Chains A and B, each alone.
Chain A
Amino acid sequence: MDIKNLAASLVLLVTGLSFGLTSFFGMDVGSALRMGPGYFPLVLSILITGIGLAVGLKAVTVSVPFHPQYAPVRSIVAIIAAPILFGMTIRGLGFVPAVLLTAISAAMAAKGQRPHIAAVIALAITAFCLAVFYYGLGLPVRLFGPWIGV
């Protein structure tokens, strides 16, 4: 078993099949002469699914040890949360709180980072972004949004 490539094959099969089935059943495929919106995606999906099968078949026949190295779950969550937090708060809370939250979340991703250090880093980043993007480049955003009544 080659776990890594088995997982790779799974990614390809899921992508290929979901896009393929959507193109085949949900769209007009048309003909080679008059290609519908579904034609090209269907061809690509078949290719992806085919490669997924090939990679998967090869993966079950060989034996490869698998020792993956991952970033700590805390880091992954903190990093991914950062842009999502920004997206959720930029309209409502405004630029300053949104950048602050994003930076705090990201700063907490470092291994063993303590909250007060993260807060200091985030404050510095926010001040920097305010200077560069708002005052320097004139980004058209509200500094504080309607949620905090400003």
Chain B
Amino acid sequence: MDFISNLALGLSAALTPYNILFCFVGTLLGTLVGVLPGIGPTATIAMLLPITLSLSPETSLIMLAGIYYGAQYGGSTTAILINLPGESSSAVTALDGYQMARQGRAGPALAAAALSSFFAGTIATVFVAALAPPLTKIALQFGSPEYFALMVLGLAASVVLASGSVLKTIAMVSMGLIFGLVGTDINTGAMRFTLGRAELADGLNFVAVAVGIFGIAEILRNLEVTVQRIAVVKRVAGLWPSREDLKTIFAPACRGTALGSALGVLPGGGAILASFASYALEKKISKTPERFGKGAIEGVAGPEAANNAGAQTSFIPMLTLGVPANPVMALMIGAMIIQGIVPGPQVATSQPVLFWGLIASMWIGNFLLVVLNLPLIGLWVRLLTVPYAVLFPAILAFASIGVYSVNSNTFDLYVMAAFGVFGYVLAKLEFEPAPMLLGFVLGPLLEEHLRRAMTISHGDPMVFVNRPISATLLVVAMAVLAIAFIPDIAKRRKEVFVEED
């Protein structure tokens, strides 16, 4: 049984004390940034990227992954306790979770969130482990046209899954792609858009761009209004859900896991979509839909399972194809490159310890999260009382140190400031930043494969249509985009995302 021996290999790698420690550090940090406003997993991972250089490749990826799914957990805590989702994927959790907290059922709500997340995480880990090897085999047959088509599909999906105008989001993706091209052209050595600055020869620093757009712009948004962060509960009592509750949440958690696992594989923000889809599904099939929005425990369990499963399976495209499904995965790829590992389908065979260790660590991380979140909930509640006036200067100081330490280059700090302003302007004009960052990462790859494909085919663009895999991928990409333009769907899309704000 390959599957078992692979998982065993992964577990033996992930279960070394050192890796458990860093898995713990990652999930702890993730929970922290999930709970705290104004800083998300993207900015955190970006800041910590330079530090991981001193760790071994598997340890650093295990820790970074822990931050990512830890943040999904932490985000739900604030959603339940103060009706402020720490991460956008837990926005749905706030609908019923906060109502439960107001009715004095904060404990069961938190437990339902944690348990269904753990359940979903466990299943999704197996799903990733089972799906990754066959996908890797397919990916090994990919040539440039297929890679190009796949990235186009990923970008198309990120457009559809983003909120806001489809046209404007396409423009954002293109802008991201073009920003990604700044620097030396690898084929000819020509300088592109460097404005004569030597610092830009290696391109815009990804960490600086990510921290600017996600970190600084977010702080500016939070400074617009003085948000009252009052926890409805100072102490959470009666954590354990009743037998009745457990019975009620089991089926929603299963459905949420299935939905999340499937949608998470889609590039471009699957976890967020999964939680919305799960909530809609639970409400639809419930015998008492009127309870939703008034403290229905199913409305917490389903979406929480879905977003956690989605977060987990979004590793699949990254691990098997080296193509990031979201900005966080792009950072994970960045971490691999820093460690001298070329991302792509060959990682599974050339770095089996890293590959399976990372997958196995996800399960361990999910277990650690239950331990961290349920007994220590009091600690997290107290953290919510840290005033924002102390928090955001600290975030800015960390961000500055983090960005500087990537290359010890002061220019990167000016890039970070510039993209902070740009990101804020974009947010005010209702542009979506996440697809832009995805474009930024894929820009050079996309161009490289486009050029290679055209050279192979002697300049015949039919190469993308004549090869079955690439043709299929492109057709799916077109279909996905076309769907977004159908008026009925466009209207529903608007409704889904309205609740997010």
Contact = CB atoms under 8 A, between A and B. Distances in A.
A128 to B, nearest CB: 7
Contact of B170 (A47, A68, A82, A122): A47
A99 B401 contact: yes
Given A8-B168, A51-B170, A55-B167, A83 B413 contact: yes
Given A8-B429, A121-B389, A128-B394, A111 B401 contact: no
Interface string A1-31: 0001101100110010001001100011001
B213 to A, nearest CB: 13
Contacts of B414: 83-84, 87
Tier of interface size on chain B? 35 or more
B223 A37 contact: no
B197 interface: no
A27 B389 contact: no
Interface string B376-401: 00000000000011101110111111
B440 to A, nearest CB: 12
Classify the interface of chain A: helix, strand, loop or mixed: helix
A31 B224 CA distance: 49
B461 interface: yes
A8 B461 CA distance: 33
- The CB with the most chain B CB atoms within 10 A, among A5, A19, A79, A140, is that of A79
B219 A79 contact: yes
B174 A125 contact: no
Nearest to B190: A37
Chain B interface, >50% SS class? helix
B175 interface: yes
Contacts, number: 187
Nearest to B208: A83
A121 B447 contact: no
B397 A111 contact: no
Interface in B219-256: 219-221, 223-226
A122 to B, nearest CB: 7
Contacts of B428: 4, 68, 70
B396 A79 contact: yes
Contact of A106 (B168, B392, B461): B392
B420 interface: yes
A103 interface: yes
Contact of B168 (A32, A51, A86, A98): A51
Interface in B337-390: 388-390
Interface in B439-457: 446-447, 450-451, 454-455
B202 interface: no
B289 interface: no
B62 to A, nearest CB: 18
Given A34-B455, A87-B414, A139-B405, A109 B193 contact: no
Given A27-B192, A79-B420, A40 B401 contact: no
A37 B416 contact: no
A145 B399 CA distance: 21
A94 interface: no
Given A84-B414, A117-B389, 17 more contacts: A12-B171, A32-B461, A33-B454, A36-B190, A38-B192, A41-B181, A44-B174, A45-B178, A47-B171, A68-B428, A71-B220, A75-B223, A76-B424, A98-B400, A102-B400, A121-B393, A125-B394
Interface of B: 51, 54, 165, 167-168, 170-171, 174-175, 177-178, 181, 185, 187-188, 190, 192-193, 216, 219-221, 223-226, 388-390, 392-394, 396-401, 403-405, 408, 410-414, 416-417, 420-421, 424-426, 428-431, 446-447, 450-451, 454-455, 458-459, 461
